[in-house]
């Protein structure tokens, strides 16, 4: 995998940034600059995303990407890690934390539960997935619009529409289907660390009620789904505070 990496102090955990579906590692650029130099960093482009080619794999799923992140940590992180995941990256981070056991010091979710994971019935999942099968580019544009707020700059929305719609549907669609059907219950039962969510204003009440006992939460009420890119100066202090909590 293509990875942005930085070394740090041996007594500090490595911060692992995981981007969202059809996104890329440079979406974390403002956060990578904001994290104190004492912390080592890893920010991969997941398989198929950004500068990482899509491998020939039959199983495109949240779980398979978590396996990739686990291997990344095993290969490149000397000690414990704090996993930071945006959107789908949060799902991958939770699954990776379950695999990493005591090496996972904490998980920080960034607007991950904007999809009500565990609360979508099969018919709803199929309806959402079918829209992307029918018109991938159009559905991506709709997704960006639906997860934006007044705080989302037009320039960012255009960048997201272009970047995300350039993904290859051959891997993006089965991965999207896996994501819609993902249930975090097993990962929550297996992880040994605390979880904190930094959310914008779009998290559905049903998701918050379902998982409120599993994590603490900071809400940036005016933020859209890509809140870390919309207002890095407002977002980054919350991120650094959470990192220090688990460090």
pLDDT category at 113 given cuts 50, 70, 90 is very high
Total structural domains within the chain = 1
pLDDT at 185: 96
Q: Tens digit of pLDDT for each residue in 15-25?
A: 999 999 999 99
Which residue segment(s) compose the domain that 72 sits in?
Answer: 3-246
pLDDT at 133: 97
pLDDT at 106: 98
Q: List, in sequence order, the alpha helices (H) in 80-198.
A: 88-100, 122-134, 136-146, 154-165, 169-181, 185-190
Radius of gyration of the CA atoms of the chain, in A: 17
pLDDT category at 194 given cuts 50, 70, 90 is very high
Helix (H, G, I), strand (E, B) or coil at 99: helix
Q: Tens digit of pLDDT for each residue in 154-190?
A: 999 999 999 999 999 999 999 999 999 999 999 999 9
pLDDT at 169: 98
Domain harbouring 196, CATH code: 3.40.50.1820
pLDDT category at 147 given cuts 50, 70, 90 is very high
| Residue 85 and residue 112 in contact, taking contact as beta carbons nearer than 8 Å | yes
pLDDT category at 129 given cuts 50, 70, 90 is very high
């Amino acid at each position: 995998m293509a990875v942005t990496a930085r070394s740090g102090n041996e007594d500090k955990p490595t911060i692992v940034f995981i981007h969202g579906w059809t996104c890329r590692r440079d979406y974390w650029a403002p956060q990578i600059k904001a994290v104190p130099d004492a912390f080592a960093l890893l920010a991969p482009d997941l398989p198929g995303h950004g500068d990482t080619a899509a491998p020939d794999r039959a199983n495109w799923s949240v779980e398979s990407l978590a396996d990739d992140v686990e291997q990344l940590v095993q290969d490149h992180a000397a000690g414990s890690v704090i996993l930071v995941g945006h959107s789908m990256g949060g799902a991958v981070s939770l699954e990776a934390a379950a695999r990493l056991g005591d090496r996972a010091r904490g998980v920080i979710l960034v607007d991950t539960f904007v999809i009500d994971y565990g609360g979508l019935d099969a018919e709803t999942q199929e309806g959402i997935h079918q829209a992307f099968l029918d018109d991938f580019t159009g559905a991506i544009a709709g997704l960006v619009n639906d997860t934006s707020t007044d705080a989302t700059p037009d320039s960012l929305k255009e960048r997201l529409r272009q970047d995300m719609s350039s993904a290859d549907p051959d891997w993006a669609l089965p991965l999207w289907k896996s994501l819609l059907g993902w249930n975090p219950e097993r990962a929550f039962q297996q992880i040994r660390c605390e979880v904190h969510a930094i959310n914008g204003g779009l998290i559905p009440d049903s998701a918050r009620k379902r998982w409120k006992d599993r994590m603490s939460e900071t809400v940036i009420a005016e933020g859209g789904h890509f809140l870390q890119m919309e207002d890095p100066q407002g977002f980054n202090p919350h991120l650094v505070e959470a990192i220090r909590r688990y460090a």
